[in-house]
Structure 1
Amino acid sequence: MAEAMRGVFTSLTQIRRTVFRELARIAYEGEDGVYDELDDLPYQIISGDVATYRESVFLERAIVGERIRLAMGLPLQGADRPAKISDGAEQAAKPETYYEPPLINIINFACNACEEESYVVSNLCQGCLAHPCREVCPKGAITFKDKKAYIDQEKCIKCGRCMQVCPYTAIIHRERPCAAACGMHAIGSDEQGRAVIDYDKCVSCGQCLVSCPFGAIADKSQIFQIIQAIRAGDEVIAAVAPSFVGQFGGRGNVDKLREAFKMLGFAGMEEVAIGADLCTVQEAGYFLEEVPEKIPFMGTSCCPAWSVMAKKEFPEHADCISMALTPMVLTARLIREQHPDAKIVFVGPCAAKKLEAQRRSVKSEVDFVLTFEEMAGMMEAKGIEYTKLKGDGATDFEVASADGRGFAVAGGVAQAVVDAIHKDHPDLEVKVEAAQGLENCRKMMKDAAKGKYNGYLLEGMACPGGCVAGAGTIQAVNKTAAQVRAYAKKSPHKLATENMYNKYLDVLERESDGVRDGDAVAESINAQKGDA
């Protein structure tokens, strides 16, 4: 469902993008009365007195109001008490402010209270003589009434056998879209049948929010805080994930992207695929050192939702998930060496990266996280038409390897690590197992825990298709994946081991223990850049 909706510009897309655009516009203008304008914003976005999408224009405005608050990183207010949208906004607008947890939120009065999982008989039932549905049901849940099949939901165990044997495809598997997309089984129902999230299970992958066709689920944003930092005169640098290719149109167009960031007020832009190269080298080293002598298998570390799920549900194998720093963190540390006072913004496809950036060990490196959809709203606020930009003439980053850029697509991380291992150990067999979607990742971990994947490298991706299918992406998944692969081939380097920044990896690793050698590294990196 989530993948099918991606890349289709729907009314929900328009509402989300409009909220981001208008909030960014207000933040950029920064005039007196900005908080009064926030309170008026639902009336600007939903004008008139006739409902367009729901049964009431007042409900539409209330939902938009909640979306505005979430986009500012503020908590939901609900409909049970009078409150202004701008309540708490002044404090939240400070450049150093992070959003208030939780990250993923359900606007309960926007929820359609969809039914939970069930198998039901449609009007296609012909009441056939064979009655195969009744014969295969292990619980006797199917009877016939008025020559039509009937399923007793109290007896049904949802095995799906009846649906499989029906010759008329008359039996439907009905499931709440958000719950179907949630690989953590974290979504249940309240007393009114509305969706609720069990935050003890949720890993903030965001697949529920892009699967809800009613727009009842949204994550919190840091658009307002990022723009406040820009307006305050801070040096704000973007670290852009490899999955940027094609998100705003075009086929890579690094020059256009750099110009777009400049117009938005960013001081610079770096490629997170650099950090992906360093992460690859780290994981290749760990695999050679630890598998199978110290740990039976090793799981990749770059997807935070996958790694959190694996460690949370399989604590006895938590040490089997790689301790390599993620590409986001490694890239941010490289930037921090040269720009110690800068605000660093990770720009990418992932909702879970916002959660990762809240970790104490990461917070000092990554100041903010911005999704591609949020950035699109910012560009609209500034009137930037990406494909019409001339660019600065620099058509490529010319630093990261093809393998590092391939991190964005499912299978790419494992392939990069295998290639790095084979650089010095060409005859070593590296067995790989990969899974996409948290349900499949869990199955992979269960098999690994049973010993099925001893000696293996496991790649886990929370989003089906990889990072190109993250909750913050804009374009169709398959289209973006193809464009990322094509862009990766343009790199002058094939292997992550060829990245010139690998020589600083030891220093960057040590800094995770609180040791910084920033001046020496920055001086060396600047010199290396001058030679490149």
Structure 2
Amino acid sequence: MCIIVLIISKERVSEISLNAFTGFQQKRMEIFSELVKRYWNGELKDIKDLDKLALDIKEKYEFKEDDLSFIKDQIRVAMGLEPKGKAKFENELEEITEIDAIKKPIVSKIEGVCEYCDKEDCGCDDICRYEAQVYKRQKGPVIVNDKCLSCGQCINDCDFGALADKIEFIPLINMLKDTNTKVYATVAPAIIGQFGDNISMGQIRTGLKLLGFQDMIEVAMFADILTIKEAHEFNHLVKKEEDFFLTSCCCPVWFNLTKKNYPDTFEHMSPSISPMIASGRFLKELYPESKVVFIGPCIAKKGEAKEPSLKGDIDFVLTFRELDQIFKSLDIDLKSLEGDEKDQASFGGRVYARTGGVSFSVKTVVNRIAPRRLIKLQAKKVDGVKNCKLILDHLSSGKELSANFVEGMGCDGGCVGGPRTNIEVDKATRIVNEFGEDSLIMTPYDNLNVMKILNELGFDSMEDIVKEEYLIKLLTRE
């Protein structure tokens, strides 16, 4: 009888643990929300306060005592720190006050959860669908960071929270509250519509200012600048029928997939930095000593900002999902705010957010600067890592392609299909197109905001983007 009771007890413990871990992606954001509220309000001053947070989480979700190290690691990662696998907090609160940038790796393995996973149903065997990062070995996934594309799909696919990406907001709070530090938010073109129907860009800008940001700038404006650069590069490099040009340097998954696995094809890739990196570089030229925070739909952007040759251009990266949670945690109701509206980017720059947007934008400028070209720009647009691999396999094999301008985006639908968006891709695409059509600026060449930036840097012509060494260096990868 005793043995039977013991077996039932173990099964019950296992069931309770399974319930605690199931659906952890949503629970993780709720943990982050509680962390934000307590830190913002000055309620996290020492280890005792962090311990209380961990115990509150344990009780709320019915975790076991043995799961405390898992909970504390989730708190650490939500603070932007490395998981330690320890059941005791140490100097985490001191660490975040000294952080001016989050370190790699972006994606971390959290110990203590895989033992509860049903091995037959576990997705670890193909949790990284594109042979890049994670594979099964013994207890749970093993991360191979030098192969990782940082696409973030593995995090979404692991419902138990064994994989997590660092959240970069907690170290930023002290900077936002410091009146001597100017912090600018640059937002990805896919942001429109992500925070609710009829929420305008101006209302998002006002919300960000309430958080302490100096201002919000559309990254689409810097996409306009890079469109002009890539249009001139295409016009210069594609002279024969067999020539082709790879673009969408805005997508780090596409860029890294090509660079790591297709070196010969990579030679045809545009040398341009991404619009995100351009936003940081230009703002820091205009406002020295400022901090720049990029907000987008993408986990891979966290990795891009930490590349050695790009380090320091963007200080922190937040996702739409994280920002939405921050607004809710701090009771910032966007729909009740007065909008601070500005028209900063062209139609072309704004539709960078969806598949085909880059090709469309570059083509408008090519037609503008070289209307009599004999070889017209013929675009091939692919999205999703699987389709990106297919087109790269095709190009690397030397097969002919009925296109000379290849645009790749790692997420299905483009950035609107990123792993940290708040709305589904079809709706997001429609809203992005409508927002682009609402722009008063027809093409990147008509963007007077770009001209104003160039003037402030001492230049007086759009052509200087591709003629002046200073601007060329500012817009080019090493």
Tell me the TM-score normalized by structure 1: 0.75
Task: Confirm or deny that 1:490 pairs with 2:435.
Answer: no
What does the per-residue CA deviation read over 1:124-154, in whole Å, with 9 as the maximum and x for residues that have no partner? xxxxxxxxxxxxxxxxxxxxxxxxxxxxxxx
Task: Confirm or deny that 1:227 pairs with 2:177.
Answer: no
Cα distance change of structure 1 residues 371 and 235 upon mapping to structure 2, 3 Å threshold: same
**Whole-angstrom CA distance in 2 between matches of 1:407 and 1:282:** 15
Q: 2:163 aligns with which of 217, 220, 227?
A: 217
Once the two structures are TM-superposed, the CA of residue 304 in structure 1 deviates from its matched residue by 0.9
Is the contact between residue 278 and residue 474 of structure 2 (CA under 8 Å) also seen in structure 1? Answer: no
Letter in 1 for 2:88: K
Q: Give the secondary-structure state (helix, strand or coil) at the position aligned to 1:361.
A: coil
Task: Confirm or deny that 1:439 pairs with 2:386.
Answer: yes
Once the two structures are TM-superposed, the CA of residue 252 in structure 1 deviates from its matched residue by 4.8
Alignment correspondent of 2:258: 310
Residues 196-205 or 305-314, more deviating: 196-205
Structure 2: stretches of 5+ with no match in the other structure: 1-21, 455-464
Letter in 2 for 1:40: K
Matches within 5 A, 1:255-266: 255-266=202-213
**Whole-angstrom CA distance in 2 between matches of 1:32 and 1:67:** 16
Cα distance change of structure 1 residues 471 and 311 upon mapping to structure 2, 3 Å threshold: same
Task: Confirm or deny that 1:244 pairs with 2:191.
Answer: yes
Cα distance change of structure 1 residues 95 and 200 upon mapping to structure 2, 3 Å threshold: closer
Once the two structures are TM-superposed, the CA of residue 181 in structure 1 deviates from its matched residue by 5.4
**Whole-angstrom CA distance in 2 between matches of 1:207 and 1:95:** 27
Q: Give the secondary-structure state (helix, strand or coil) at the position aligned to 1:379.
A: helix
**Whole-angstrom CA distance in 1 between matches of 2:44 and 2:134:** 42
Q: Give the secondary-structure state (helix, strand or coil) at the position aligned to 1:460.
A: strand
Q: 1:101 aligns with which of 80, 99, 104?
A: 104
Q: Give the secondary-structure state (helix, strand or coil) at the position aligned to 1:93.
A: helix
Task: Confirm or deny that 1:272 pairs with 2:272.
Answer: no
**Whole-angstrom CA distance in 2 between matches of 1:34 and 1:470:** 36
How many pairs were matched up? 435
Is the contact between residue 238 and residue 245 of structure 2 (CA under 8 Å) also seen in structure 1? Answer: yes
Alignment correspondent of 1:204: 150
Alignment correspondent of 1:398: 343
Alignment correspondent of 1:73: 80
Letter in 2 for 1:100: K
What does the per-residue CA deviation read over 1:323-344, in whole Å, with 9 as the maximum and x for residues that have no partner? 1121112222232233212111
Once the two structures are TM-superposed, the CA of residue 68 in structure 1 deviates from its matched residue by 1.2
Q: 1:36 aligns with which of 48, 54, 74?
A: 48
Alignment correspondent of 1:417: 362
Cα distance change of structure 1 residues 47 and 235 upon mapping to structure 2, 3 Å threshold: same
Matches within 5 A, 1:124-135: none
**Whole-angstrom CA distance in 2 between matches of 1:513 and 1:463:** 24
Structure 1: stretches of 5+ with no match in the other structure: 1-9, 117-173, 515-532
Once the two structures are TM-superposed, the CA of residue 59 in structure 1 deviates from its matched residue by 5.7
Is the contact between residue 348 and residue 370 of structure 1 (CA under 8 Å) also seen in structure 2? Answer: yes
What does the per-residue CA deviation read over 1:104-134, in whole Å, with 9 as the maximum and x for residues that have no partner? 1232433465658xxxxxxxxxxxxxxxxxx
What does the per-residue CA deviation read over 1:163-210, in whole Å, with 9 as the maximum and x for residues that have no partner? xxxxxxxxxxx8827835532442211223x12222221111111112
Task: Confirm or deny that 1:92 pairs with 2:96.
Answer: yes
**Whole-angstrom CA distance in 1 between matches of 2:268 and 2:67:** 47
Alignment correspondent of 2:307: 359
Once the two structures are TM-superposed, the CA of residue 89 in structure 1 deviates from its matched residue by 3.8
**Whole-angstrom CA distance in 1 between matches of 2:365 and 2:122:** 43
Give the aligned CA root-mean-square deviation in angstroms. 2.6
Letter in 2 for 1:75: E
What does the per-residue CA deviation read over 1:59-107, in whole Å, with 9 as the maximum and x for residues that have no partner? 66543322211112211222xxx442454441233251x2232111232
**Whole-angstrom CA distance in 1 between matches of 2:177 and 2:129:** 38
Q: 1:25 aligns with which of 37, 44, 47?
A: 37
**Whole-angstrom CA distance in 1 between matches of 2:78 and 2:44:** 20
Residues 406-415 or 245-254, more deviating: 245-254
Alignment correspondent of 2:58: 46
Once the two structures are TM-superposed, the CA of residue 361 in structure 1 deviates from its matched residue by 3.4
Alignment correspondent of 2:136: 189
Is the contact between residue 38 and residue 86 of structure 1 (CA under 8 Å) also seen in structure 2? Answer: no
**Whole-angstrom CA distance in 2 between matches of 1:33 and 1:190:** 40
Letter in 2 for 1:73: G
Letter in 1 for 2:81: L
Once the two structures are TM-superposed, the CA of residue 15 in structure 1 deviates from its matched residue by 1.2
Once the two structures are TM-superposed, the CA of residue 445 in structure 1 deviates from its matched residue by 0.8
Alignment correspondent of 1:335: 283
Cα distance change of structure 1 residues 199 and 32 upon mapping to structure 2, 3 Å threshold: closer
Task: Confirm or deny that 1:369 pairs with 2:376.
Answer: no
Q: 1:408 aligns with which of 337, 353, 358?
A: 353
Alignment correspondent of 2:71: 64
Residues 24-33 or 253-262, more deviating: 24-33
**Whole-angstrom CA distance in 1 between matches of 2:69 and 2:95:** 22
More helix by share: 2
**Whole-angstrom CA distance in 1 between matches of 2:46 and 2:111:** 28
Letter in 2 for 1:291: V
**Whole-angstrom CA distance in 1 between matches of 2:333 and 2:474:** 40
Tell me the TM-score normalized by structure 2: 0.83
Cα distance change of structure 1 residues 513 and 177 upon mapping to structure 2, 3 Å threshold: closer
Is the contact between residue 95 and residue 229 of structure 1 (CA under 8 Å) also seen in structure 2? Answer: no
Letter in 2 for 1:399: Q
Alignment correspondent of 1:525: none
